[in-house]
Amino acid sequence: MILPIIIYGNPILRKKCIDIDFLSCKKKINLLIEDMFETIHKEKGIGLAAPQIGKNIRLFIIEPPDFNDGKKGRNYKEVFINAKILKVHGEKSILNEGCLSIPGVMGDVERKSHVSIEYYNHNWKKQKKIFTGICSRIIQHEYDHIEGKLFIDYFSSIKRKMIKKKLISLYEKITYK
């Protein structure tokens, strides 16, 4: 099932999410994960966090495009349940980011190249991994969502002034529905 995306201005995007008690809701979470993947496929996204679909839980998914063979397919996907970043390290790089919850806004964000993270995967097995490259960047972006942070928070004050009208417009759309 395609899920509606929560748009900038909704307070859930600024809340720190709570851990999932997967013993009591494993089946329900598994169905939600399926719906989240279906949603990013429709929206042509590469990651999605639970607050972006109105759920205040520590869950996000990633499915980056396949950059290795030039196809437009996908070669990797991962589920992150109750994730905790242990360390962000490596070289800094700046890339242009966007977000399904802030349509029409793009901007340069500086992030480090490596992320060490502990989480439960789709099989509910505890993992501890280091991710690099585009996966690291997407994980950091989606992790920010479950911490109540948005990619626009990294923008310079000048860039924030430049997008202010767009953000107000998005906020007004949800306020006056």
Active site residue 34: no
Q: Is the pLDDT of residue 177 over 60?
A: no
Q: Is the pLDDT of residue 18 over 80?
A: yes
For the chain, give every domain's residue range: 11-175
Which residue shows structure tokens 């901007």? Answer: 107
Q: What is the pTM of this model?
A: 0.92
How confident is the model at residue 66, as a pLDDT? 66
Report the candidate in 88, 168, 155, 79 with the shortest Cα–Cα distance to residue 121: 79
Mean pLDDT of the residues in the chain: 92
* Residue 158: band (very low, low, confident or very high) from pLDDT cuts 50, 70, 90: very high
- Which of 91, 142, 147, 172 is the catalytic position? 142
* Residue 171: band (very low, low, confident or very high) from pLDDT cuts 50, 70, 90: confident
* Residue 174: band (very low, low, confident or very high) from pLDDT cuts 50, 70, 90: low
The domain defined by 11-175 carries CATH number 3.40.50.10070: no
How confident is the model at residue 175, as a pLDDT? 57
What digits encode the pLDDT tens for the residues 46-91? Answer: 999 999 999 999 999 999 976 544 445 556 899 999 999 999 999 9
Please work out, in degrees rounded to the nearest 5, the angle formed at the alpha carbon of residue 19 by the alpha carbons of 167 and 27.
105
What digits encode the pLDDT tens for the residues 89-118? Answer: 999 999 999 999 999 999 999 999 999 999
How confident is the model at residue 69, as a pLDDT? 45
Q: Which residue(s) pair with 60 in the sheet?
A: 49, 80
- The three state secondary structure string of the chain is CCCCCCCCCCHHHHCCCECCCHHHHHHHHHHHHHHHHHHHHHHCCCEEEHHHHCCCECEEEECCECCCCCCCCECCCEEEEEEEEEEEEEEEEEEEECCCCCCCCCEEEEEEEEEEEEEECCCCCEEEEEEEHHHHHHHHHHHHHHCCCCHHHHCCHHHHHHHHHHHHHHHHHHHCC
Mean pLDDT of 116-136: 96
Question: Length of the chain in residues, anyone?
Answer: 177
